[in-house]
Amino acid sequence: MSLQGAAKGCGEVGTKSLSEIVKERKGNMKPILARRGGEYFELNECLNGQNNLIPVYIDDYVANKTYERTLSMILVTAYHRLFKEHKLVIDHSISKGLYCWVEDEKISIEDIHRLSTEMKRIVKMDYPIEKKCFKLEDALEIFKKNGEMDKYLLLKDTMFDSLKMYSLLGQYEYFYGKMAVSTGNINLFELFPYKNGFVMVYPTINEPESVKVFTPQEKLFQIFEETARWDELIGINYVGYLNEKIKNNETRTLINVTEALHEKKIAYIADDIRKRKNVRIILIAGPSSSGKTTFAYRLGIQLRVNGIIPMPISMDDYFLPRRLTPLKEDGSYDFESVEALDLELFEVDMMRLLAGETVKLPHFNFKTGEREESAGEVTLPENGVLIIEGIHGLNPKILKNIENRFKFKIYISALTVLNLDRHNRIATTDVRKLRRIARDHISRGYSPEETLEIFPSVTLGEKRYIFPHQEEADAMFNSTLFYELSVLKKHTIVELQKIGKERRTYEEAKRLITILRLFADVDDVMVPTNSILREFIGGSQFYDY
């Protein structure tokens, strides 16, 4: 079996060499990668003729993902050196960390401590991480020999001629994206015992030089666990298993069961609302592209089955006039701030509706930036509930003078549990990005590049105004669909491929393309018209485009 390592020491590099970049610091931070335009480079790449290279650190999005990926490589290597009987799973994100667990057993606190100590030793020794190229058939043989069927099934039907794998202390792994060249820079992390496993916490983009203490998120974890049980029910642990079902003509059953699980969960929530009897206001909140609109419609149908009449209210109609909107530090309007809403008027109108009064609701004109009166008046029926959808639905500043016993708060997000394999997760934000890229392209005329450019500011608003309140929810709904990336693939990949190397979003587009290529295709015609996915690909019976 032959393998070829990445070239090193390839000569001059334009105006600044990689060796010079490696020596630069930003505070206490060392560079993780180098960048030119929108293209990123590992610090041992051969770059003859390239110029204008700049160092990037852990406070850069791509470099932060590289840090996470390299830390995962260190974790897997340390675990393999200490424990060989069972397989380690790097599962999902929670509370600014990654939840990890071991198949077939609960890892002890003592073993977690041993694992952390070994990881820190590997970091201290600053071992090199080498990138080597394998023929696809050779790599598949390694996966099969090691019993890594998750990787084998994922890659066996790809059109790849070869695979670039990373090696650390003799441990070979396949990761989807850039990697640091050695372990020495990955020195900030902690392992916190949690449930049957542990959470690996590391620095964030906004706090790149520290590691926060892990804060449990019990309700969020429970919804991840519920979805994992759905995985087992359907028989899909990783993407390779999904692809096998699609290729074996089991797609129709897969979609029907997945959609039925959604409907059953929505019905449970509607039943819970009915049992509480006092509920008059339903507040639905979640990050961008969670499927809030479709969820609200489907919940409304289930409420009607229970004899409850839903009245939808748009929180967006209560924006303050543009001239009164709070500003960000850069002077732009902060539309995502809770202070951008007329909280007083909103509460007065909702209290009047609850009191049985007839109210003329406002309408916000986004073109003029002014609030207008709507044409009609509304009255809440005696057996009615207000369904209010908006990013601030869980914020305690909303309707603060109305007793909580009259409210039912729902948090919705696409919380991905289906991962590529045991060591490569699909981030929740990746699914929401691809949903939004598809919807923005067909309904708003935005290119994927424009969507990717604004997404960082969107996620910043979510971190400030949504995520801190998610544990306040009375119910959580996971809007992810196991098969959705197989559908979104055709809606996004061609347009993503148009983003050039000079564009700032190039590296992110390339990473998303790499993930999408690993999914077998599912045709749109198989997606039901009431599916949350229809909100993003078109053809929804609820959503206006």
Per residue in 179-205, pLDDT (tens digit) is: 999 999 999 999 999 999 999 999 999
CA separation for the pair 104, 118 (Å, rounded):
22
What pTM was computed for the model? 0.89
CA separation for the pair 142, 136 (Å, rounded):
10
Contacts (Cβ under 8 Å, ≥6 apart) of 192: 97, 198, 199, 201, 213, 214
pLDDT in tens, 499-514: 999 999 999 999 999 9
What does DSSP assign to residue 471?
G
Assess contact for 60 and 67: CB atoms under 8 A. Answer: no
- C-alpha angle with apex 299: 379 to 485, nearest 5 degrees? 140
CA separation for the pair 255, 239 (Å, rounded):
15
Give residue 14's pLDDT band: very low, low, confident or very high (50, 70, 90): very low
Q: Where are the domains of the chain?
A: 4-201, 218-537
Give residue 545's pLDDT band: very low, low, confident or very high (50, 70, 90): low
* CATH H-level, domain 218-537: superfamily: P-loop containing nucleotide triphosphate hydrolases (3.40.50.300)
* CATH H-level, domain 4-201: superfamily: Threonyl-trna Synthetase; Chain A, domain 2 (3.30.980.10)
Average confidence (pLDDT) over 27-53 = 84
Give residue 359's pLDDT band: very low, low, confident or very high (50, 70, 90): very high
Q: State the pLDDT at residue 198.
A: 98
pLDDT in tens, 263-313: 999 999 999 999 998 999 999 999 989 999 999 999 999 999 999 999 999
CA separation for the pair 463, 455 (Å, rounded):
12
**Among 420, 505, 468, CA closest to 72:** 420
Assess contact for 57 and 26: CB atoms under 8 A. Answer: yes
pLDDT in tens, 66-84: 999 999 999 999 999 999 8
| Spatial strand order in the sheet of 39-41 | 39-41, 33-36, 54-56
Average confidence (pLDDT) over 241-269 = 95
Question: In which element (H, E) is residue 164 found?
Answer: strand 162-168
φ and ψ at 538, to 5 degrees? Answer: 95, 160
